[in-house]
Amino acid sequence: MSAAADRLNLTSGHLNAGRKRSSSSVSLKAVEKPFKVTVIGSGNWGTTIAKVVAENCKGYPEVFAPLVQMWVFEEDINGEKLTEIINTRHQNVKYLPGITLPDNLVANPDLIDSVKDVDIIVFNIPHQFLPRICSQLKGHVNPHVRAISCLKGFEVGAKGVQLLSSYITEELGIQCGALSGANIATEVAQEHWSETTVAYHIPKDFRGEGKDVDHKVLKALFHRPYFHVSVIEDVAGISICGALKNVVALGCGFVEGLGWGNNASAAIQRVGLGEIIRFGQMFFPESREETYYQESAGVADLITTCAGGRNVKVARLMATSGKDAWECEKELLNGQSAQGLITCKEVHEWLETCGSVEDFPLFEAVYQIVYNNYPMKNLPDMIEELDLHED
Amino acid sequence: MSAAADRLNLTSGHLNAGRKRSSSSVSLKAVEKPFKVTVIGSGNWGTTIAKVVAENCKGYPEVFAPLVQMWVFEEDINGEKLTEIINTRHQNVKYLPGITLPDNLVANPDLIDSVKDVDIIVFNIPHQFLPRICSQLKGHVNPHVRAISCLKGFEVGAKGVQLLSSYITEELGIQCGALSGANIATEVAQEHWSETTVAYHIPKDFRGEGKDVDHKVLKALFHRPYFHVSVIEDVAGISICGALKNVVALGCGFVEGLGWGNNASAAIQRVGLGEIIRFGQMFFPESREETYYQESAGVADLITTCAGGRNVKVARLMATSGKDAWECEKELLNGQSAQGLITCKEVHEWLETCGSVEDFPLFEAVYQIVYNNYPMKNLPDMIEELDLHED
């Protein structure tokens, strides 16, 4: 057993101190050539994940190349370049102020250069930048490179619903998994304990243990004492929940704003979880029902999102002020968007194309409230038929 | 179709106004002899459920006898009897002040008299009074009487885990189901929308539709426009969740008190849901996994309970003050108890008897923190092995 593997087992042993079982121990083979990792994206969540990854790459030098690059969209901060600030002061002063980054994390403003000779790419940019980034990367990425997308959601178009990981695979010809969970970025950056889910499907051209990325490698790459990782196969399941939770959060904001209390918010989350599962079964039959209620990317992320965040806030203000969604968004989010407002429309249009609108009464109710001014106090009646146990 | 059934269908049609499907419509046969209903218990939740039941019994006179009795533990309120106040002013001034009760709800201080010639008994008293109530009722209840228990939890003894509904069946020889859900009583009493789950297993001596209690009758008895009911078979599933959620809520209080934020609380709820499911599968193999994540009595009640309430408050104060559970309980609850403190001990002792402690790391961690002063900051490491996806 290699020194790196020893160390990893030791760490896991420590994590499980005082307990007999040690299912979390990862017996990792040293790899032929340590994997070189790059994180694309340097926003709040991008920088946080880059910190996590860099800490692990430093910790397991026989598995990962210690130096981790982070592609940064260059910005001028009071006359200094953001990349220079990150590389000298080890802080992303703009997007993750107050958090010290590991010194083996190197900011690079050159996208193509940042992925040179890389083995693993972690995508963590806003959804809307993905097409441009992929078109720039095209032709510069070896087909043996493996990727993990930390982007939330999916693309809904005329052709149907596409996972963002599938989009990356299609555009760049590389295998791509996903990372999603109940992860408010700032809390993870401050190393408050949380959990996440990584989903990755081993590709047909897998080169073998010790030579290629597998679940153990991904666990080693993302797991930290404060960031507990579960690695599964179901990329679709975790991506679906990551997108649709924002629609459910709007529903929670409505009933909160109406002053209906905790029972009503919990009811919306229950109904929402049911519709998320149904959506997965209908459009991604390969996704597993268990993912939604067992994984951090499922029920836990739903709970965190519905406990607060942009979508809840905008919906709550709609309820209390009577203003429309766009006014509330403008008033509260300072130019940022509440993703649920976009997603509920995309989902409505897609479900209409499929003739399946009535199978998703909560998603439809949220859409009608946001876009057609349906009275939100009718929400309970609008979603009543989700009850599957009726005669 | 009877007038009552017509009316019920009309109500459901109204609930579904504007939507094509109407799966919530209940086509209820008029019954040979309307069911006479009594609610035993008149606390906060007891009075609330009695209000719900009385409203429905008044609304469907061909199905239910309009007059509903509520057994009240007689108390003197400033020189007046509580039953007299309820019967003249239609308000339970002590336990549900400010809520007007239907005038067909009649308070009765005589337990035996309250169940005379009754067809359906709804139990809604504090857990600890159940043995005494049952021993008083013994011999006074016809075996054809059907019951629903609104009590939360189960009895853990040397013989194992027993459902309270099973206890009622054993003591009184009557079929008993359960009602449980994300139901903060005051919110339901104020007619803020919420959902609940009723579970009832049709007994072998079922006398036939129109003559005996079935799922449609129970739906009609409990469903209100503001209180949406789902009727299922799985009595064990909803009872288990109703008991164990309080242990999970203690865990949420700990991480909240430690200042770890929303991610951590969601993680505790995810892990807790997993252990609740496992507990059900291990000790009540007839319970269905879906109950836990599809029903109000499952995931929704867990979410509501973990969003606040006694157990969260006590655990939070333990974390912030360093005081022990009993001091915190005394300081916060004014003589009432945080049920999770009792349940986690009962569960620990039962699991120890079975040699299954290690299968429930969160329940065990909560127990050890409360009873043996384990440092709560070790919680993440203590529960790490629930991760089922590890190699």
C-alpha count within 13 angstroms, C-beta hemisphere, residue A32: 8
Q: Which of B255, B269, B295 sits opposite A300 (nearest CB)?
A: B269
Question: How far is the C-alpha of A90 from the C-alpha of A69, rounded, in Å?
Answer: 13
Average pLDDT, chain A: 91
Phi, psi (5° rounding) for residue B122?
-105, 115
Question: How far is the C-alpha of B349 from the C-alpha of B326, rounded, in Å?
Answer: 19
Helices B235-257 and B361-372, interaxial angle, to 10°?
50
Find the range with the poorest average confidence among A26-40, B8-22, B258-272.
B8-22
Rounded to a whole number, what is the distance in Å from the CA of B21 to chain A's nearest CA? 8
A237-383 is classed CATH 3.90.1150.170: no
| Bridge partners, residue B4, by sequence | none
Q: Which range in A1-5, A292-296, B385-389 is most confidently predicted, on average pLDDT?
A: A292-296
Q: Tell me: the pLDDT tens digits for A20-58? A: 333 344 567 788 899 999 999 999 999 999 999 999 999
Element (H, E) at A10: helix A3-15
Q: Which of A27, A231, A382 sits opposite B389 (nearest CB)?
A: A231
A37-233 is classed CATH 3.40.50.720: yes
Tell me the mean pLDDT in the region A307-318. 95
How confident is the model at residue A27, as a pLDDT? 61
Question: How far is the C-alpha of B54 from the C-alpha of A240, rounded, in Å?
Answer: 43
Nearest to A153 by CA among A293, A69, A279: A279
Please indicate whether residue A7 or residue A308 has the higher confidence score (pLDDT).
A308
CB–CB contact A299 B299 (8 Å): yes
pLDDT at B156 over 90: no
pLDDT at A390 over 60: no
CB–CB contact A269 B299 (8 Å): yes
Tell me the mean pLDDT in the region A89-116. 97
b/e map A173-199, b = 16+ CB within 10 Å: ebbbbbbbbbbbbbbbbebbbbbbbbb
* Strand B68-71 relative to strand B37-40, pairing: parallel
Under the banding of pLDDT at 50, 70 and 90, the label for residue A159 is: confident
Q: What's the count of helices (H) and strands (E) in chain A, helices before strands?
A: 17, 12
pLDDT at B23 over 80: no
| Bridge partners, residue A155, by sequence | A162
Q: Classify residue B201 by burial, with Cβ atoms within 10 Å: 0-12, 13-18, 19+.
A: middle
Residue in B202, B265, B303, B357 to test binding to A, most A beta-carbons within 10 Å: B303
CB–CB contact B274 A259 (8 Å): no
Which tokens hold the place of B51?
């209000």
Binding residues of A for NAD(+): 41-46, 73, 129, 185, 310, 339
Rounded to a whole number, what is the distance in Å from the CA of B202 to chain A's nearest CA? 15
Phi, psi (5° rounding) for residue B192?
-80, 140
Q: How distant is the alpha carbon of residue A215 from its chain centre?
A: 17
Q: What's the count of helices (H) and strands (E) in chain B, helices before strands?
A: 17, 12
Tell me the mean pLDDT in the region B251-258. 98
Domain with CATH 1.10.1040.10 in chain A: 237-383
The SS3 call for residue A190 is coil
Tell me the mean pLDDT in the region A118-146. 96
- Identified catalytic residue from A29, A51, A219, A245: A245
- Chain A residues touching residue B201 (CB < 8 angstroms): none
Rounded to a whole number, what is the distance in Å from the CA of B121 to chain A's nearest CA? 23
Would you give the DSSP letter of residue B21? -
How confident is the model at residue A334, as a pLDDT? 82
- Chain A residues touching residue B195 (CB < 8 angstroms): 263, 267, 270
The SS3 call for residue A227 is strand
Contacts of B309 (CB under 8 A, 6+ apart): B184, B249
Which tokens hold the place of A229?
């990782």
Rounded to a whole number, what is the distance in Å from the CA of A290 to chain B's nearest CA? 10
How confident is the model at residue B27, as a pLDDT? 61
Q: What is the DSSP string of A73-117?
A: ---EETTEEHHHHHHHH---TTTSTT-PPPTTEEEES-HHHHTTT
Q: Which of A259, A301, A381 sits opposite B17 (nearest CB)?
A: A381
pTM, full prediction: 0.90
Rounded to a whole number, what is the distance in Å from the CA of B186 to chain A's nearest CA? 10
Tell me the mean pLDDT in the region B196-210. 96
Question: Could you identify the residue written with the tokens 């050890």?
Answer: B368
Which tokens hold the place of A353?
């194309």
pLDDT at A158 over 80: no
How confident is the model at residue B159, as a pLDDT? 78
- Chain A residues touching residue B8 (CB < 8 angstroms): none
CB–CB contact B225 A19 (8 Å): no
| B387 to chain A: closest CA residue | A230
Average pLDDT, chain B: 91
Q: What percent of chain A has pLDDT over 90?
A: 84
CB–CB contact B269 A17 (8 Å): no
How confident is the model at residue B30, as a pLDDT? 80
| A193 to chain B: closest CA residue | B264
Please indicate whether residue B44 or residue A24 has the higher confidence score (pLDDT).
B44
b/e map A240-261, b = 16+ CB within 10 Å: bbbbbbbbbbbbbbbbbbbebb
Tell me the mean pLDDT in the region B211-234. 97
Beta carbons of B88 and B104 less than 8 angstroms apart: no
For A20, A342, B320, B325, B348, the CA distances from B371, given in Å and listed in that order, are: 21, 49, 17, 8, 11
CB–CB contact B192 A295 (8 Å): no
Under the banding of pLDDT at 50, 70 and 90, the label for residue B385 is: low
Tell me the mean pLDDT in the region B281-300. 96
Would you give the DSSP letter of residue A330? H
How confident is the model at residue A384, as a pLDDT? 80
Q: Tell me: the pLDDT tens digits for B52-87? A: 999 999 999 999 999 999 999 999 999 999 999 999
Which tokens hold the place of B223?
């469903």
Domain with CATH 3.40.50.720 in chain B: 37-233
pLDDT at B6 over 50: no
CB–CB contact A193 B24 (8 Å): no
Tell me the mean pLDDT in the region B303-318. 96
Question: How far is the C-alpha of A249 from the C-alpha of A253, rounded, in Å?
Answer: 6
Q: Which of B15, B230, B384 sits opposite A381 (nearest CB)?
A: B15
Q: How many CB pairs under 8 A join A and B?
A: 218
How confident is the model at residue A54, as a pLDDT? 98
Helices A361-372 and A261-283, interaxial angle, to 10°?
110
Would you give the DSSP letter of residue B152? -
pLDDT at B251 over 50: yes
Under the banding of pLDDT at 50, 70 and 90, the label for residue A80 is: very high
How confident is the model at residue A26, as a pLDDT? 56
pLDDT at B190 over 80: yes
pLDDT at A70 over 70: yes
| Bridge partners, residue A241, by sequence | none
CB–CB contact A260 B307 (8 Å): no
